[in-house]
Amino acid sequence: MGELDNCSNCGNLYVKVSRNVCPDCVKEEEKKFQTVYDFMKKRINRQATIPEITEGTGVEQELIIKFVKEQRLRSSQFPNLTYPCDKCGDQIQDGKLCTSCSEELTSELTYQDKVDSIQAKNKAEDNKAATYFAVDKGKRKY
């Protein structure tokens, strides 16, 4: 069952089922998508970049980037469709991070795993050092 929400585009109240925009804005987005797709279908426009598409169609860059991220416009069909990496801003064709940012994040996570395991080992040794042990209890000779 849906819940009431405000549209992220126009602010109107609507019943949210799956999208963050109201049905009127969905229709508007679909019209803009069709405009972009019709522009890109022409042979001379297949190599167009996102700024060129914006200039040719009047559709906002953010919306075109959304279409590319949703894979409604595929870079396999239109090779110059790139958008900025979320971290560094380099141009990419899929995902959220470029290769270098992804590798950097992976190495940082690996390093943090090592730090966590060393801290856990040190904590276990500290707990062991705080424990008292009885040695040769009851074996005293007088």
For 36-87, the pLDDT digits (tens) are: 999 998 988 888 989 999 999 999 999 999 898 888 888 778 888 888 898 9
Query: At 106, is the pLDDT very low, low, confident or very high (cuts 50, 70, 90)?
Result: very high
Question: Two tokens at 123?
Answer: 């904590």
In degrees, to the nearest 5, what angle opens at C-alpha 86 toward C-alphas 72 and 115?
A: 130
Residue 88 C-beta-side C-alpha neighbours within 13 Å: 12
- 37, part of any domain: yes
Selection from 12-16, 19-23, 53-57, 93-97 with the highest mean pLDDT: 53-57
In a shared domain, residues 36 and 61:
yes
Instruction: Name residues whose C-beta falls within 8 Å of residue 138's C-beta, 6 or more positions apart in sequence.
Output: none
Structurally, the chain folds into a number of domains equal to: 2
In a shared domain, residues 94 and 77:
no
In a shared domain, residues 31 and 77:
yes
| Mean pLDDT of all residues belonging to the chain | 86
103 to 35, 94, 98, 107, 110: CA distances (angstroms): 37, 15, 9, 6, 10
Indicate the residue type of 6. Answer: N
Helices and strands (H and E) in the chain: how many: 4, 4
Mean pLDDT calculated for residue range 82-109 = 90
Question: Two tokens at 124?
Answer: 């276990």
Q: For residue 142, what pLDDT is reported? A: 55
In a shared domain, residues 29 and 77:
yes
pTM of the full structure: 0.68
Q: Which residue's structure tokens are 């804005």?
A: 25
- Domain limits at 51? 23-81
- Dihedral pair phi/psi, residue 18, rounded to 5°: -135, -25
Q: For residue 138, what pLDDT is reported? A: 64
